[in-house]
Structure 1
Amino acid sequence: MAKLVETFACVPSTERGRGILISGDPKSHSILYCNGRSVLIRSLRRPQDVEVYGEHGYPVTVARYSPNGEWIASADVSGTVRIWGTHNGFVLKNEFRVLAGRIDDLQWSSDGLRIAASGDGKGKSFVRAFVWDSGNTVGDFDGHSRRVLSCAFKPTRPFRIATCGEDFLVNFYDGPPFKFHSSHREHTNFVNCIRFSPDGSKFITGSSDKKGMIYDGKTGEKIGELASKDGHEGSIYAVSWSPDGKRVLTVSADKSAKVWDISEDGSVGSVVKTLISFGSGGAESMLVGCLWQNDNLITVSLCGTICLFAEDDFDKPPLQLSGHTKNVTALAVLGTNQKTILSSSYDGLIVKWVQGVGYCSKLQMKDGTKIKRLVANENSIILSGFDNKVWRIPLEDGEFGDADHIDIGHQPLDVSIAVDSPESTVLVSYDSGVVLLKGHIEILSKIELGFPVAASAISPDGREAIVGGQDGKLHVYSVSGDSLKEEAVLEKHRGAITVIRYSPDLTMFTSGDANREAVVWDRETKQVKLNNMVFHTARINSMGWSPDSKRVATGSIDTCVIVYEVDKPASSRTTVRNAHLGGVNAVSFIDDFTVASSGEDACVRSWLLDPP
């Protein structure tokens, strides 16, 4: 058996030019946000406590707790809403196809009986309200001609629904059953977000015209607006009321978050505090989401970073929660005692995690560099992407230094580093050969091998290299200076080699292929030491050895991590099913009984194995 120890969570998926919606449950002090096909439930008191719901078939856009906190309704780009329970595991209550296209916002009525959803109706209805347990529609929502970006349910009786969207309109509906009441066009650009105050007396809108408008909650008439003095200089993407309804939090493309005092009659909103302002920061510093929950003010930037501010001290630096937004392609563990994990994602982000702590720091590669492979020793990180470059990033006291790179003239397929060799020799393979690098990624030699290359590895001592072919053969070479000499060709695999890893004690190596098979080899005799490792149902993406060389872990696109003990039959394996939604991209041991994994769901997890 393997027990989940920790999840280093991804952050919300974001989209430039669009706001995102986060929500939460004030009673449990948890928040909900979406990334890919996952809904993440995250504690504000213990941000390391994360649950992930991954049952949607399409990317999820919004999720919200029911008023009693027993249920969550989540919606996706296909127009589907799923309603599921949060206790004793995730239990699906209902699933409804609500709109013909993407759902952008979703709200429960305060009695928990109805749900309103808005989004892209593909030229038809852009808003729908329905009974939560039957799916029956409760009203007609005419009046919009384009995508409806946000909707809000009046939290007090008589119920009302307010909507806004890309047609610059703010519409107001009576009900239930709901019917059109009135429409307003005070905004001159997309209206991105609409929210009722907790007592239902007012509602507010935020727009790409940089303005916020305040409306009467009973009649829908405009009664005021946010003052232009000290106001936002960019699109307002999200708004959120304080629990007492006296203040509002807004976030904007101008990279600032502001707290506003709202007058009792709603006629004016004035800035009390600019919480955060990234000033000259890049586009990733734009703020696209916010939530005021209990005594926490939460903002989300375009790069996904979540900032938690304390209501009782606006000047206190916020707690920052960061991580990946895209699939995590590679892992490296630095030192068995430090328990530091480096992870890299397709979008060029490298994140440093510490066990028991979580997020520590990050480095965003510039110029659109995409990361495919990452290896590291105590002094540096070597990585490659989808161009012809190999990068080296020095590690100075565990912190990222300035990156430098070299162009090898071919797209790298695989990268490995001889961590115990004096010059930290690096082996890079490409489609027809390999490149040997030394030190600060200087080219030692480029060698054409005469067969289609698929994967490679250099031994930790730098004296041997193994290159796997598209034909499933393993070519073993001795390394001398800048040259390779072929010593053996091993045949066992029936598919292209995908990964090769040496054991830490240098007595063995393991290989995996696209035909789902893994093999452990004796390094000295070149004989198979453990075979019949064919328990994955799809391509093996990654392999890793325990520090004591007694166990090997494999990760596959079948979502599973499998751990084998090399001195026992393969049938005595430990399998972690559904380790990562969409597939496992990387595995690495942290210590003899703890495995780290990462995958398409943009998360990194650690698993504790049962000791023998």
Structure 2
Amino acid sequence: MHLREEALWLLTSDVSVSTVFPLTNASHYWDAETGENDCFSGKGHSNQVSQMVTDDSSELVTCSMDDTLRYTNINKTEYSASDVVKMDFQPKSVSVAVGGLSLAVCIGQVVLLKNKKKVFTMDNLDYEAEVGALHPGGSTAAVGGADGKVRLYSVQGNTLKDEGKTIELTGAITDMAYSNDGAYLALIDDKKVTSVFTVADDYSVKNNFYGHHAKPVTLAWSPDNEHFATGGMDMMVFIWTVSDPDKRIKVPDTHRLHHVSGLAWVDEHTLVTTSHDASIKQWTIKY
């Protein structure tokens, strides 16, 4: 297994490679093959962007500390003044699924959106919601809490139904994501445990993965659905193999000035890491 590093250094604080990574309220995009980059035009978020994802209609969906979600066409790379959704509380996480669905986890609130409009809100939660993930097929909304539990809500039309299904981990959930094919749900918690659950087997544990020396904070699935990457406060990135917890690639000191803040896969052999050190790095992964 080999790694090849290609560092792309920035003069600004927010970057992207094929997708966009959140750090400040500005958005920059990079072409992973040519290295060309530019800024999104128009007026964007007025405060720090917390998370961003892309949906199946080439929309970049971003949530920000300015209490809004924005939908921006990637091909146009121009902010739209009309595609802004004002939230009641500050959003911490956003995820997307087919059919125009978006899920925003806010401080004290979980919001389901459809076609850029709020359609269902859960208030007065009896737990602190930290992060959410929509199943790619749009059937389930998983919400991870600070209490170490993941609530699995059924998406029924324009509502979320609590059917009492939960997953329990060892610590507060820091990030989570379904595999691209929807077969697995991967989670990381502040007790340094990474877990993968099999969706079709009623979310039974597939494997647990250990290696981080400090809290892992970000997670991303490879397009091959057999591997995924995690990054932590220990300055390390691991690339894991779903079927074999002992088969892993360890990348120490990925960003020496700060921990990894974002991960994304360009393809199954190309991983991109970002950090608050104002740089992005592109890694070639060979298994």
Relative distance call for 1:399 and 1:475 in structure 2 (3 A) is: same
Distance 2:186 2:118 in 1: 27
Q: Which residue of 2 aligns with 1:415?
A: 94
- Provide closer, same or farther for how the CA distance between residues 341 and 4 of structure 1 changes in structure 2, counting only shifts above 3 A: farther
Give the alignment of 1:30-45 within 5 angstroms: none
Return the offset for 1:367: 6.6
Deviation of the 1:510 alpha carbon: 0.2
Q: What is the CA distance between 1:2 and its match in structure 2?
A: 4.0
Q: In the alignment, is the contact (CA less than 8 A) between 2:44 and 2:79 conserved in 1?
A: no
| Aligned position for 2:7 | 7
Q: Contact between 1:4 and 1:605, CA under 8 Å: does it hold in 2?
A: no
Alignment of 1:101-500 (within 5 A): 324-325=12-13, 340-346=18-24, 348-363=25-40, 365-366=43-44, 368-377=46-55, 378-395=57-74, 397-403=75-81, 404-418=83-97, 421-422=98-99, 424-439=100-115, 441-448=116-123, 449-487=125-163, 488-491=165-168, 493-500=169-176
- Read off the aligned partner of 1:359 and give its amino acid letter: E
1:2–1:609 Cα contact (<8 Å) kept: yes
Match of 1:68 in 2: none
C-alpha separation in 1, matches of 2:253 and 2:64: 27
Distance in 2, matches of 1:499 and 1:558, equals 16
Map of 1:492-511 to 2, 5 A cutoff? 493-511=169-187
CA distance in 1, matches of 2:242, 2:120: 35
Cross-structure match for 1:550: 226
Q: 1:524 aligns with which of 187, 195, 200?
A: 200
Shift of the alpha carbon at 1:453? 0.7
Q: 1:481 Cα deviation (Å)?
A: 1.4
Q: Which amino acid in structure 2 is aligned with residue 369 of structure 1?
A: N
Is contact 1:412-1:429 (8 Å) kept?
yes
Aligned-residue RMSD, C-alpha = 1.9
Aligned to 2:246: 571
Q: Which moved more, 1:357-366 or 1:540-549?
A: 357-366
Report deviation, 1:398.
4.9
Query: How many angstroms apart in 2 are the aligned matches of 1:558 and 1:443?
Result: 37
- The answer to whether the Cα contact below 8 Å between 1:427 and 1:458 also exists between their aligned partners in 2 is yes
Contact 1:501–1:511 (CA under 8 A) maintained in structure 2: yes
Distance 2:45 2:136 in 1: 32
Give the greater-gyration-radius structure (CA): 1
Amino acid corresponding to residue 50 of structure 2 in structure 1: K
Distance in 1 of aligned mates of 2:181 and 2:44? 37
* Paired amino acid for 1:391: R
TM-score (structure 2 length as normaliser) = 0.91
| Cα distance in 2 for residues equivalent to 1:408 and 1:462 | 21
Q: Distance in 1 between matches of 2:231 and 2:60?
A: 22
How many equivalent pairs are there? 280
Counterpart contact for 2:236–2:250, Cα < 8 Å: yes
Comparing both chains, which one has the higher relative contact order based on Cα–Cα distances under 8 Å and sequence gaps of 6 or more? 2
Choose between structure 1 and 2: higher strand proportion.
2
The corresponding residue for 2:286 is 610
Q: 1:380 deviation in Å?
A: 1.2
- Structure 2: how far apart are the matches of 1:434 and 1:413? 10
| Aligned partner letter, 1:8 | L
1:376 counterpart letter in structure 2? T
Q: Which runs of 5+ in 2 are unaligned?
A: none
Q: Secondary structure at the match of 1:400?
A: coil
User: Out of 261, 264, 269, which is 1:585 matched to?
Assistant: 261
The separation in 2 between residues aligned to 1:591 and 1:368, in whole angstroms, is: 32
Structure 1 runs (4+) greater than 6 angstroms displaced: none
Q: Cα gap change, 1:341/1:443 in structure 2, threshold over 3 Å: closer, same or farther?
A: closer
Shift of 1:494: 2.0
Q: Structure 1 CA distance, aligned partners of 2:19 and 2:87? A: 28
CA drift at 1:495: 1.6
**The residue matched to 2:246 in structure 1 has which SS?**
helix
1:53-72 → structure 2 map (5 Å cutoff): none
Q: Deviations over 1:170-195 (max 9, x none)?
A: xxxxxxxxxxxxxxxxxxxxxxxxxx
1:399-451 CA distances to partner (integer Å, 9 max, x unpaired)?
Answer: 33424312111111110011xx22x2110012333101121x21111112432
1:590 Cα offset (Å): 1.4
Offset of residue 517 of structure 1: 1.4
Distance 1:453 1:356 in 2: 38
Unaligned runs of 5+ in 1: 12-323, 334-339
CA distance in 1, matches of 2:110, 2:241: 32
**% identical aligned pairs:** 26
Amino acid at match of 1:481: G
Residues 548 and 469 (structure 1), Cα distance of their counterparts in 2 relative to 1, 3 Å cut: same
